[in-house]
Amino acid sequence: MTTPIALVLLYSVVQGKKVRNVARTAAPQAARGVLQVRAASKAVWFPGNPGAAHLDGTLPGDYGFDPLSLGSDAEMLKWFQQAELMHCRWAMVGAAGILLPEVATIFGAGDLPVWFEAGEQLNGTQFTDGVTLFWIQMLLMNWVEVRRFMDMKNPGSQNQDPIFPQFAVTGTEVGYPGGRWFNPFSMAATDEKMVEYKTKEVKNGRLAMVAMVGFATQAFVTGQGPVANLMQHIADPAHNTFFTQSFTN
């Protein structure tokens, strides 16, 4: 009596597996294919984490990193993108301005002050006093920042300079003016190259922002520039680290 029951149970199990397999393959095959393509094409900052839902991978350097959902508002995300882009560019210029003079001084190509003492050592040799310099900077930066703000509100509206009409740009995407002044070598001649360079710029800019934090921390702890710290660490890695310096200074 047990053999027929066992055969019936075995038959039911086999048929059940067939039904489940058919259901898996027949139902949302196309949908699963789309999800797999998206998962494969969208790089994320943490493997296995789908990333922020409001970040679809279209922005330069987008890896789904937004744990606090600061960019969940589409309009705010535009502002955050431009803020990051400008901070990236300033940080890259600042990092170069810190490293190159120190390298030149160390290798005997010049006698330039370390970056956090440059302002003090230039005191008395500048063409005017600090207050005048401040207002000159305020006027010049205000001119640039107001025009940048207007371009963000209406992309392409600031392509023609109102005072110097010979200076014009061609780009209509906010943050990427292009033209003879901002792309003199036509390096981003194609859309593919433009996407590539945008991503590289953001990646290097983020690294530069982290580097600036490191430079400031090193200066506070050791009282030296980053190149001098690096050379000391290479000469004696065991005794010249952040931790040993922080406890001995």
Residues 162-221 have pLDDT tens digits of 888 888 888 888 999 888 888 888 887 788 999 999 999 999 999 999 999 999 999 998
Mean pLDDT of the chain: 80
Do residues 212 and 204 make contact, with C-beta atoms less than 8 angstroms apart? no
Q: Looking at residue 55, what is its pLDDT?
A: 92
Half-sphere exposure for 68 (CA within 13 Å, toward CB): 2
pLDDT digits (tens, 9 = 90+) for 29-84: 443 443 334 444 578 888 888 889 899 888 999 999 999 999 999 999 999 999 99
The domain segmentation of the chain, as residue ranges, is 2-41, 74-248
For residue 176, the cross-strand partners are 173
Quick one: tokens of 6? 């066992």
Contact between 19 and 36 (Cβ < 8 Å):
no
Residue 51 φ/ψ region, left for φ over 0, alpha for ψ in the -120 to 50 degree band, beta for the rest: left
Give the span between the Cα atoms of 118 and 224, in whole angstroms: 13
pLDDT at position 124 is 58
Question: Which of residues 227 and 120 earns the better pLDDT score?
Answer: 227
Give domain 74-248's CATH number out of 2.60.40.60, 1.10.3460.10, 1.25.40.340, 3.40.50.720.
1.10.3460.10
DSSP designation for 224 = S
Question: Please, are residues 106 and 231 in contact by the beta-carbon 8 Å criterion?
Answer: yes
CA proximity to 200, closest of 115, 118, 52, 88: 88
If you search the block for the tokens 């086999």, which residue do you land on? 14
Own/partner pairs, 42-50, CB within 8 angstroms, 24+ separation: none
